[in-house]
Amino acid sequence: MSIKDKPKVPISRIIGNILFVSGVLFLLANLLLPQLFGPAIPRVPYSLFIDQVEGAEVTEVLVGDKEIRYRLKSEEEGKPGQILSTTPIFDLELPKRLEAKGVKFAAAPPPRNSWLGSVIGWVVPPLIFVGIWWFFLGRGAGGGGPQGALSFTKSKAKVYVEGDSGKITFDDVAGVEEAKTELEEIVEFLKTPQRYIDIGARIPRGVLLVGPPGTGKTLLAKAVAGEAGVPFFSISGSEFVELFVGAGAARVRDLFEQAKQKAPCIIFIDELDAIGKSRAGSGGFVGGNDEREQTLNQLLTEMDGFGAGDATVIVLAATNRPETLDPALLRPGRFDRQVLVDRPDLAGRLKILEIYAQKIKLDSEVDLKTIAARTPGFAGADLANLVNEAALLAARGKHEKVAQADFNEAIERVVAGLEKKSRVLNEKEKKIVAYHEVGHALVGATLPGGSKVAKISIVPRGMAALGYTLQMPTEDRFLLSESELRGQIATLLGGRAAEEIVFGSITTGASNDLQRATDMAEQMVTTYGMSKVLGPLAYQKGQQNTFLGDGMNPRRMVSDDTAKAIDEEVKEIVETAHQKALSILNDNRELLESIAQKILEVEVIEGDTLQELLGQVKGLELASHS
């Protein structure tokens, strides 16, 4: 798609420019030209003037407040003498001197108001103001020029029309097949609206795309416009909010007015929650909230004010905070449909990787399916960034093509951070980190619920990781049992348990592990009802926001006895998992030592070597049957 051609400059702007420039030139000509090209009168000191008066060289004098002009006697008979001027000073004796020497003197007459002065004083200033007004009005009238002082009420939407290059279609979008199916009906209506109108069907006026960041909501909206071949108005919700009261509502009106002229077309509003927040919690305060409410009310009115037929305008909007939107926006007749654009599954990730892999030089040995399996939870934007990181690594290594090793390193960089080879650990810390990471790996390989251990490294990464154990799931999982959750908690505590067994003390390296283990245990008790003491009850308030992370999820109002029971249950789950991790590591003490010594030598263990070592763990057979 390409941005629409620049429209012609409006007549009002041309007239304003002509008046403005003409008025300024006329004023300058009448004020400056007489001074530049008029007769110049020599100016002399006042003392010289007095000497000339005393020497009887002056014939007549005109005395003014700011200037004294006088004429000298002519040396040639019949010719007027030279005219000079001087600056007056406070001199009460001057009239007596002039009278004593027989000089004619008088006060200077006031300047006459000529017709030219009248024109300049009464006609030119209004013309200048009118010209300035039309000049700025033309700049803000949306004529395609730069934004002027009066343009704050105009829509800032970018308009895209169908072009030969850069067109986005559904073939460019992958991993969201259900959402594409929903939007195909919108495309069909835009292409052949009469077929739906004849049968009496009403197409949804608004479609709300909801989902986590980076899943392709904006890309889907552009694909709908590309498939339908209609103009596409793109604007962010924050661009409606302005310092000036009423500017947001005016921009909404202007946007829909432009859209009706281009109908059939699509309006895409990104980050709808910026103007569509619920009015229930505003509290009636005057200010920013009141301006946002005016904008929202105007949006609601405009969405009710157009329908099918010649003015077919469909509104697509995207947000990752649907729970904050006003109920009036979500009712039938406005945003009739909510389309979930979720993170892709394994098949979806593979298709996304295939699309982005076409843009780089890929080695023939690269297995995109393996990469898709190692990237659970990655959104479309994450996968695009992954492919780009792999290409950057290949270029940095001066490779001709992107290899599998580049993708593996890119995954670790995205998940764990950049390698910190400059961060040198002393021998004692390096040994502690080695046993800590091996402890995670051994417990994770033994208990259910843990993903497959793919790599152990004691090379620092990111801001705080002194080492890491990389676990990759073998399949996409959507449900976890109680035993699997307990196994994950024990795996998190495996590093701390290894420090206790080997060194007899603990360090600060397990702080993040303890935080995650405690949060998981508290969710088991308060959210999932996995407690025999407290029973199948939920002690946390329901939370609808599933797209921007868990965030704060406070407990319900519970009694002191219930709160104490929750704390005791959480402690019991974590402590049981801790003892389980200690038991596994004590049973595999020799293997713990051998793997730790090996990783101290090579710093990284992965692949077949790691799987062969982990295959010697005692209790692995029992875990596989549990």
Q: What is the DSSP string of 453-483?
A: EEEEE-S-BTTTBSSEEEEE-SS------HH
* Candidates 302, 437, 499, 569; catalytic one: 437
**In Å, how far from its chain's centre is CA 256?**
24
Sheet containing strand 604-606, edge to edge, reads 468-472, 452-457, 604-606
Token pair recorded at residue 143: 């004529």
- One-letter amino acid at 61 equals V
- One-letter amino acid at 349 equals R
| CB 60 within 8 Å of CB 71 | yes
Q: For 512-541, b where at least 16 C-beta lie within 10 A, e where not — what string?
A: ebeeebbebbbbbbbeeebbeebeeeebbe
| DSSP H/E element including 591 | helix 589-602
Measure the CA–CA gap between 383 and 380, rounded to whole angstroms: 5
Measure the CA–CA gap between 316 and 328, rounded to whole angstroms: 16
Is 601 tagged catalytic?
A: no
Measure the CA–CA gap between 107 and 64, rounded to whole angstroms: 6
Q: Which long-range contacts (CB under 8 A, 24 or more apart) does 546-550 make?
A: 547/210, 547/211, 547/212, 547/213, 547/320, 547/321, 547/322, 548/212, 548/213, 548/320, 548/321
Token pair recorded at residue 357: 């892999």
| CB 483 within 8 Å of CB 489 | no
Catalytic residues: 437
